[in-house]
Structure 1
Amino acid sequence: MPRTSLVLGLALAGLSLSTPVAAQGLTPDAVDRLPTRVPHAVHRYGPAPQQYGQLRLPEGRGPFPVAVVVHGGCWTKGFATLANTAPLASALAERGIASWNIEYRQLGEAGAGWPGTFQDWGAGTDALRDLAAKHPLDLTRVVTVGHSAGAHAALWIAARPTLAADSEVGAAAPLPVQGAVAVDGPGDLAAFVGVDEQVCGQPVITTLFGGKPAEVPARYADGSPAQRLPFGVAQALVASVVLPPDAARAYAANAGGDDVRVIALEKAGHFDMIAPGQPSTEQVIEAVETLLAPR
């Protein structure tokens, strides 16, 4: 599905779900073309071509808090790359927050889906330990921020320490984070089955997990953040079109004591939310700053 069709699909999804429509805001290509800062480092966290990230540092000596930034794109090759979140990653660095913008394997690429895509999100986050050996990073102050499908990743990374070490997508010592910002993307993946076809133009969740919730329940239990709640991490859900405010509030209502803040935006373009200079992006950055503040 072409990226221009994705914008239309998002608007149609918004209409069908009775949520604010992503008024024809910025296109993903327009966001890709926004100015960005040159990364201080490009680091590989695995052998696959997609297993790398870009580190951007603020001015000064540090150590700096860190935002792990994860792009969206329907979990599928051809929709988006880390170029789509490079402007947001650059803006975070300008605000005093080191940004680690990761690429990962998407559906249609070798090794993607279950468990590879999830393993990439985890390994990419854990790579901060290697980066901290060379750069002034404060790994006690790490927040994830993801857009669209990356919102799922941001929440899942935060929930990862609750997984059993022998889970297919688990790890022996996952890097803990202190907050997660999910920008207009789903936290309940079982509930997103069916909606995904409206948003992405094709079913993607059952492909990502390798089956429907009833067919592979253990995978959804390990891979859907809503089924990991509570996981003891503060979260901010930026809701608009792909994540309707009602769905965000339902997630928060079932958070089991987790601190979950819902930021409901009206008439915010889906891609405007990751475009520095847009009011909705400012709210995303402020949410990251709030979660990094001493608690």
Structure 2
Amino acid sequence: MPHSLLTWDDLASRARAVPDATIAYGADAMQKVDVWLPKGKAPHRTVLMVHGGCWQTTIADRRLMDWVADDLRRAGYAVWNIDYRGVDRAGGGYPGTFADAAAAADALRTHAARFGLDTSRVVAVGHSAGGHLALWLAGRPRLPATSPLATRDPLRIAHVISLGGLPDLEATAASPDNGCGTGVVAKLVGTGRPDPYDDTSVPRLLPLGVPQELVNGRADRIIPFRMATDYVARAHAAGDHATLHEVRDTGHVELVTPDTAAWAETKRLIAAAFARRK
């Protein structure tokens, strides 16, 4: 175990860059996307980024990802950093939180020409609860046809990187040691439905049919490490390509902090994802 893990205050104390543009995909203040554009000629390789915060707006919003979004911009990537209504906000929960994530993702395609974004190979990167949503976005084509979340032509995600994610909502709801608690899952998936997990929990959508990378800190005190190993095992059993990347001496904050071993690994994976044959 490391002597000292980074805290959220450590990250927030750093100088904060600003995005190049912000677009709205709905009327709510949280229905926004920050656009980070690199120098150089378009079309730009584009990362769709999803913040965490236990699916709760009062814990985190898209600004939590400003530091890594800026780092990717400096490295030559465009970043489409989405926000969404959390379960603690009017209209959030089921189906609102999921519908927001889907609408924000699809808005990338709508605004691609304006910002010079390459939609032919979009890599999704999500942290914590955002790891769940990033994987879920990749699984949208497999949503049950009866689900109100199903759409005819969802944005295609080519590769997903989950940073300390919570992909299995059923396991999260049964794990009191996860840092988000168990009660939030019921608010997220809704109640009174025959099976609230069939269109919300990623393992129910397997196989996703896209490569999946999980980057997890072995010293993460918020997300139990078994949540990554268990999910990867289920993805493999379903025939998906999923790889777990364990980073030693790393907690939850390091995963979205530039100049850490965890973020260096994620940048390596992003570069490799774009280098894959289409």
TM-score past 0.5 threshold: yes
- Provide the residue aligned with 2:128 in structure 1: 148
The structure with higher relative contact order (CA 8 Å, sep 6+) is 1
CA distance in 2, matches of 1:53, 1:196: 32
Question: How far apart are residue 243 of structure 1 and its match?
Answer: 4.3
Counterpart of 2:47 in 1: which secondary structure? strand
1:258 aligns with 2:235: no
Residue 251 of structure 1: how far off its partner (Å): 1.7
CA RMSD in angstroms comes to 2.0
1:233 alignment counterpart: 210
Shift of 1:77: 2.7
Aligned pair partner of 2:30 in 25, 36, 50: 50
Matches within 5 A, 1:89-100: 89-100=69-80
Contact 2:172 2:182 (8 Å CA) reproduced: no
Residue pair 2:173, 2:182 contacting (<8 A) in 1 also? no
**Which residue matches 1:168?**
148
Alpha-carbon separation, structure 1, partners of 2:162 and 2:200: 15
Partner residue of 1:221 out of 187, 198, 207? 198
Deviation at 1:23, TM superposition (A): 6.3
User: Please, which runs of 5 or more residues in structure 2 have no aligned partner?
Assistant: none
Q: Structure 1, residues 19-71: CA drift from partner, whole Å, max 9, x if none?
A: x7x86522223323433433121000111110001000111012111111111
Q: 1-side partners of 2:274 and 2:187: how far apart? A: 34
Name the residue aligned to 1:63. 43
Out of 12, 23, 27, the position equivalent to 2:7 is: 27
Contact 2:164 2:216 in 1 (8 A): yes
SS of the residue 1:145 aligns to: strand
State, as a whole percentage, how many aligned pairs show the same letter: 36
Query: What residue is the counterpart of 1:16 in the other structure?
Result: none
How has the CA–CA distance of structure 1 residues 73 and 263 changed in structure 2, closer, same or farther, with 3 Å as cutoff?
A: same
Kept after mapping to 1: 8 A contact 2:199/2:205: yes
Cα gap change, 1:198/1:186 in structure 2, threshold over 3 Å: closer, same or farther? closer
Among 187, 190, 194, the residue aligned to 2:170 = 190
- Corresponding residue to 2:91 among 111, 132, 148: 111
Per mean C-alpha deviation after superposition, the further-off stretch among 164-173 and 50-59 is 164-173
C-alpha separation between the residues in 2 aligned to 1:104 and 1:166? Answer: 23
**In the comparison of the two structures, how many residue pairs are matched?**
272
TM superposition shift of 1:239: 2.1
The answer to whether the 8 A contact 1:32-1:87 is kept is no
Following superposition, the deviation at residue 111 of structure 1 comes to 0.3
CA distance in 1, matches of 2:233, 2:50: 25
Q: How much has 1:166 moved relative to structure 2?
A: 4.5
Q: Is the 8 A contact 1:23 1:268 kept in 2?
A: no
SS in 1 for 2:214: strand
TM-score by structure 2 length? 0.91
- Alpha-carbon distance, 1:266 to partner: 2.3
Letter of the aligned partner of 2:81 in structure 1? N
> What CA distance in whole angstroms lies between the structure 2 residues aligned with 1:222 and 1:206?
14
8 A contact 1:158–1:176 mirrored in 2: yes
Aligned to 2:257: 275
- When residues 157 and 109 of structure 1 are mapped into structure 2, their CA distance, relative to the original with a 3 A threshold, is same
**Aligned AA (2:12):** D
Structure 2 SS opposite 1:67: strand
Q: TM-score under structure 1 normalisation? A: 0.86
2: CA distance between counterparts of 1:199 and 1:244? 8
